[in-house]
Structure 1
Amino acid sequence: MGGMPLVDENTVVSGLIPPGHKVATSDIAAGAPVRRYGQIIGFASQPIRAGEHVHVHNVAMGEFDRDYAFSADVKPIGYVAQSATFQGLVRENGRVATRNYIGILTTVNCSATVAKGIAGRFDGESLARFPNVDGVVALTHPMGCCIDTKGEGMRLLQRTLAGYARHPNFAGILVVGLGCEANQIAGLFGAHALEENDLLRTFTIQDSGGTSKAIAKGAAIVLDMLGHANRATRRSVPASHLVLGLECGGSDGYSGITANPALGAAADLLVRHGGAAVLSETPEIYGAEHLLTRRAVSPEVGRKLIERIRWWEDHAARNHGEMNNNPTPGNKAGGLTTILEKSLGAVAKGGTMNLQAVYEYAESIIDKGFSFMDTPGYDPISVTGLVAGGANVVCFTTGRGSAYGCAPSPSLKLSTNTALWHRQQEDIDINCGSILDGEHTVQQMGQAIFELVLRTASGEKTKSERHGYGQNEFMPWFVGAVM
């Protein structure tokens, strides 16, 4: 860590440096850039001597030019001769699922209690007759009314709900409305060309006669769907059917050197096997976006990413915030100093492949290869967008210790350090701290993650699934005024 390229690692440390934090390897003058990973993470707010602790007390944000160099690093993808396989569920429309759920969606918060009441009728005992079904889940949210019916907030909400309604991991979907909300079922279905059928049903509480009658009606519909869902069986399919969501949360100073690059190596492997890997969290690539634009398959793709960056800068300014409000206190305690540093580590999840496409929030992911989706950095909102886009497996790196799941798609959690693995092993699926311990290389750990993704896609339960995570974490992104 220093103001110039590293020339000597034999630095004498002055004072105690917490685990995961940084130390200067050379003297840095006040105002000079501070670099990590060979990139600027901030500027010295005071002189920093070699061996001193480098953190928020002596580093600040500052403006500097990025060289976007659109498409400069595009390269051929070395596809494997024979794709890896997993045991997937092939739907009638040809899409491939990794899980087999019945889902209950709500148009508005007012129908959330009924949706949960319906799902509550189907516990472990009542589902014992349907061994091929993973569960019945109610995915509720706090919005759906008193918003502009033609505004951005409504578009995002409806796009998210439509994405879940179409998700292959749902064998059947029931949409429950109140009846008088702004987000009308007819408007949702019309905007996204959804058509009701035996496995996509709808009703409103007002037309059903009230709460208890609506719950009974919904339970009868779900019971009909369960018989169909239980007939699904797994068979061998190519890994090219996987859409892997790449997420990080509770990051620390180790994230960018262990779990994130290891996940990037796994993402590269999936792309080489013909699958799709999708990076997200636009505020958490801020300051590192130039590393992605260089890999964009065309200048148009690169410029689309920069357009989303500019939207976020304007969004933060309009709401009297700043992009460096991220990292969180937990990130800083773990050694991350600025959003620039956090972003450089976060981008490593995206591996090294070409950037094929940039998607807006919850848009359908139609491109194979590596792509990016514009989402907030808040984990539940970000992953909700990825799943709405079609992600059927999620990998979630964490250094501080995240507990998270995202029905209907399984979420694997990867620890950045072995201390976290020992402390919170009941929530972590694989320990990437072994890279730091010298037991594995990044590439070896990437291979292990890729193999775990295949087993998970084949039905092996994640830690979060065993704990019952997934329903409460559904959180569509809302942008706009509530009136």
Structure 2
Amino acid sequence: MQKKLIKVHPDDNIIVALVDIEQGETIAFEAKEITTTTAVKAKHKIAEFDFSTGDSIFMYGVLVGKASQNIQKGEVLTTSNVKHQSGKVSQKTETTSWNPPNVDKWKDRTFMGYHRADGQVGTGNVWLFFPLVFCENKNIERLKEVFEKELMPKKTDSYQMLLRSLVNNTSQDEVIEEKSTNAFDNIEVKFITHQGGCGGIRQDSESLARLLAGYVNNPNVAGATVLSLGCQNLQIELFQNTLKAINPNLNKEVIIYEQQQMGTVDTMLQTIIKDSFEAIKRANQIQRQPAPLSKLCIGLECGGSDGFSGISANPALGHVSDIMAALGGKSILAEFPELCGVEQELMNRCVTEEKANKFLSLMKAYEKSVVDAGSGFDMNPSPGNIKDGLITDAMKSAGAAKKGGTSPVTDVLDYGEYVSESGLTLLNTPGNDVESTTAMVGSGATVVLFTTGLGTPTGNPIAPVIKVSSNTILAQRMNDIIDIDTGAVISGEKTIEEVGDSILEYIIEVASGRIISKADQLNQDDFIPWKRGVSL
């Protein structure tokens, strides 16, 4: 029979409901009895003891809130009786020891990837079109229409067939389905648009330049076609210098066009189409070859989180991250607003005091900017988070940080910096799902693991995004977007390690092109740069 309650960490003073519990139900728990004072929904938290106003509340072994009023033993914790509170951090206090997992079963495993001249290995082979400024979005969209129609025509989908049947006043069975034939079998053509590059502070254009350069440098990209208007803040020279700073020896075709120097739109587009087609043909000749798992760079993301995310899906990702660290691979933990409250643990895991101080400095600067804008990290939990049991930012953060496992933090990067160290890297990004995923791929992630308890369809133009459900109900209800279900951890059928191992097996299949992630099947190509400054 499934357990009804669980305490995540021995030092916690609250308990998580694993199933719905009726009001007045008495449950034996750790040599005592807990009687619920109200009905409790699964994923929500119950007071293990009586709390007085101002008492500290602990979960995952860290401070996650304080009682804003008296709370009875067995009472549900809500935003009405608990307020956000996190521990104060000033410096690295110790160096945490680490016992790496046994990786004998993984050390000789390989995936089929695209090897680049600089030693990086991609999980995909993409020719990427993007603008340096939003003024070129229309031209990018026109190129997308042309290239996708001729190079990678899509099978007519059911919605289009439905509309066609309505237009023609026929049944769907009578609609003629269009055939899909790709001109190239070894490359994808993808397109990015954005709202930046001009009209804001120079720092935002410089940040966008780093992000776009990171996408070109990502080993999933074979080459790129870049459009510039000519007068924008993000000048061609700025982009080229930024790309050279990331990778001085980049050996990829990057073709750039400036509209104000080329004349008419027709002249420019005809030239772009001819040049890009020849470059795409050359890139199509690159073939997948075996590569060790240490060549993977995995982004760790959570979105639409629920009260089970930090108990099932996120710790399973943490196990994968630890395996990658032990193999010499790379993983990235981002979303700095969702690391609030666990700074001390992460600082103590940093391999040097310098990196620990950089992390704390970035966190404090970010939090100050949020406060200056009239808000705070305590505003981070969304209505969906709160409804499903994540009632304070520190509680959400403590669960979110589980994605990073227990390995040492080998590097700390600001937004737009590119990953270079093996092991776990902390990357400064917003908690926003798409902005964070966009940033991790720009910093080198070749696969993204994305946990969710509520469901979200987020994807990425150049890196496969693998959706990992925290609970089986979600996996069954939204099976078109969920790749992996970790609900067996909640039911007690499997351990975190067993589920983590199955996730890594799935990553190998996706990285080798043998399985297409659900987000890619849905053509979910989301791209949102982080705009940190004001518009001018």
Is 1:11 paired with 2:18? no
1:419 CA drift (Å): 0.7
State the SS of the aligned residue for 2:421: coil
Q: Structure 1 CA distance, aligned partners of 2:234 and 2:470?
A: 41
- Which secondary structure does the structure 2 equivalent of 1:110 belong to? helix
**2:433 counterpart of 1:379:** yes
In 2, Cα distance between equivalents of 1:465 and 1:359: 28
SS of the counterpart of 1:19? coil
Q: Classify 1:476/1:142 alpha carbon distance in 2 versus 1 (closer, same or farther; 3 Å).
A: same
**Does residue 23 in structure 1 map to residue 46 in structure 2?**
yes
Instruction: Kindly report which structure 2 residues correspond to 1:41-190, keeping only aligned pairs within 5 A, or say none.
Output: 41-62=64-85, 64-66=87-89, 69-75=92-98, 77=100, 80=103, 82-123=107-148, 126-127=151-152, 128-133=182-187, 135-149=188-202, 152-190=203-241
Unaligned runs of 5+ in 1: none
Deviates more, 1:117-126 or 1:260-269: 117-126
Residue identity over aligned pairs, in percent, reads 33
Q: Which has the larger radius of gyration?
A: 2
Aligned counterpart, 2:58: 35
Shift of 1:453: 1.1
Query: Which whole-Å CA distance do the structure 1 matches of 2:452 and 2:139 have between them?
Result: 34
Contact kept, 8 Å, 2:14 with 2:45, in 1: the verdict is no
How far apart in 2 are the matches of 1:226 and 1:375? 32
Structure 2 residue matching 1:49: 3-state secondary structure: coil
How many angstroms apart in 1 are the aligned matches of 2:148 and 2:240?
A: 30
Using the alignment, how far apart are the partners of 1:123 and 1:313 within structure 2? Answer: 42
Decide whether the 8 Å contact of 1:74 with 1:294 is kept in 2.
no
Alignment correspondent of 2:493: 439
Q: Which residue of structure 2 aligns with residue 401 of structure 1?
A: 455
What is the rounded CA distance, in whole Å, between the counterparts of 2:530 and 2:150 in structure 1?
35
User: For 2:317 and 2:264, how far apart are their aligned partners in 1?
Assistant: 48
Residues 190/124 of structure 1: CA separation in 2 closer, same or farther (3 Å cut): same
- 1:412 partner letter: I
Provide closer, same or farther for how the CA distance between residues 325 and 146 of structure 1 changes in structure 2, counting only shifts above 3 A: same
Counterpart for residue 401 of structure 2:
347
Give SS of 1:23's match: strand
SS at match of 2:226: strand
Q: Distance in 1 between matches of 2:32 and 2:281?
A: 64
1:386 deviates by 0.8
Residues 318-357 of structure 1: pairs in structure 2 closer than 5 A: 318-357=372-411
- Deviation by residue 1:339-393 (Cα, 9 ceiling, x = unmatched): 0000000000000101101011121100001111011111111111111111100
Q: Contact between 1:118 and 1:216, CA under 8 Å: does it hold in 2?
A: no
Which residue pairs with 2:255 in the alignment?
201
Contact 2:91 2:357 in 1 (8 A): no
1:429 and 2:483 aligned: yes
Preserved contact between residue 38 and residue 75 of structure 2 (Cα < 8 Å): yes
- Residues 210-235 of structure 1: CA deviation (Å, up to 9, x unaligned): 33433332222221122112111111
Measured after TM superposition, the shift of residue 80 of structure 1 is: 4.0
Question: 1:39 Cα deviation (Å)?
Answer: 1.8
CA contact under 8 A between 1:70 and 1:302: conserved in structure 2? Answer: no
Give the structure-2-normalised TM-score: 0.85
Kept in 1, the 8 Å contact 2:417–2:443? The answer is yes
Work out whether residues 362 and 387 of structure 1, in 8 Å CA contact, stay in contact via their aligned partners in 2: no
- CA deviation profile, 1:304-344 (whole Å, cap 9, x unmatched): 11111111121112111111110111111111010000000
SS at structure 1 position matched to 2:147: coil
Q: Which residue of 2 aligns with 1:214?
A: 268
CA contact (8 A) 2:87 2:341 kept: no
Deviations 1:440-469 (A, max 9, x none): 110000101111111111112100001111
Is this contact kept in 2: 1:3–1:28, CA < 8 A? Answer: no
- Aligned counterparts of 1:463 and 1:198: Cα–Cα separation in 2: 29
- Structure 1 pair 198/207, CA: closer, same or farther in 2 (3 Å)? farther
Indicate conservation of the 8 Å contact 2:53/2:67, yes or no.
Answer: yes
Change in Cα spacing, 1:70 to 1:371, as seen in structure 2 (3 Å) is farther
RMSD: 2.1
TM-score when scaled to structure 1?
0.94
Alignment deviations for residues 112-133 of structure 1 (CA, whole Å, 9 cap, x no partner): 1111211221226524221011
The answer as to 2:454 corresponding to 1:454 is: no
Question: 2:124 is paired with a residue of what secondary structure?
Answer: coil
Kindly state the Cα deviation for residue 183 of structure 1 after the two structures are TM-superposed: 1.1
Q: Say if 1:70 and 1:295, in contact at 8 Å, map to a contact too.
A: no
Sort the Cα spacing of 1:112 and 1:38 in 2 relative to 1 into closer, same or farther, 3 A. Answer: same
- How many equivalent pairs are there? 478
The 8 Å contact of residues 266 and 446 in structure 1, kept in 2 or not, is answered as yes
Q: Paired residue for 2:522?
A: 467
The structure-2 alpha-carbon separation of the partners of 1:145 and 1:239, relative to structure 1 and needing over 3 Å to count, comes to same
Check if 1:370 corresponds to 2:393.
no
- Is 70-79 or 432-441 further displaced after alignment? 70-79
The one-character-per-residue Cα deviations of 1:190-248 (angstroms, maximum 9, x if unpaired) are: 34428998720000222333334333322222211221121111111101110100000
Q: Which runs of 5+ in 2 are unaligned?
A: 1-6, 16-29, 153-181
Q: Aligned letter for 2:446?
A: N
Query: Deviation digits for residues 232-291 of structure 1, max 9, x if unmatched?
Result: 111111011101000000011001100000110011112212200110000000111112
Match of 1:267 in 2: 321
Q: Cα gap change, 1:476/1:213 in structure 2, threshold over 3 Å: closer, same or farther?
A: same
Inter-partner Cα distance in structure 2 for 1:436 and 1:103 = 41
Partners in 2 of 1:284 and 1:49 — Cα distance? 29
One-letter amino acid matched to 1:114:
N
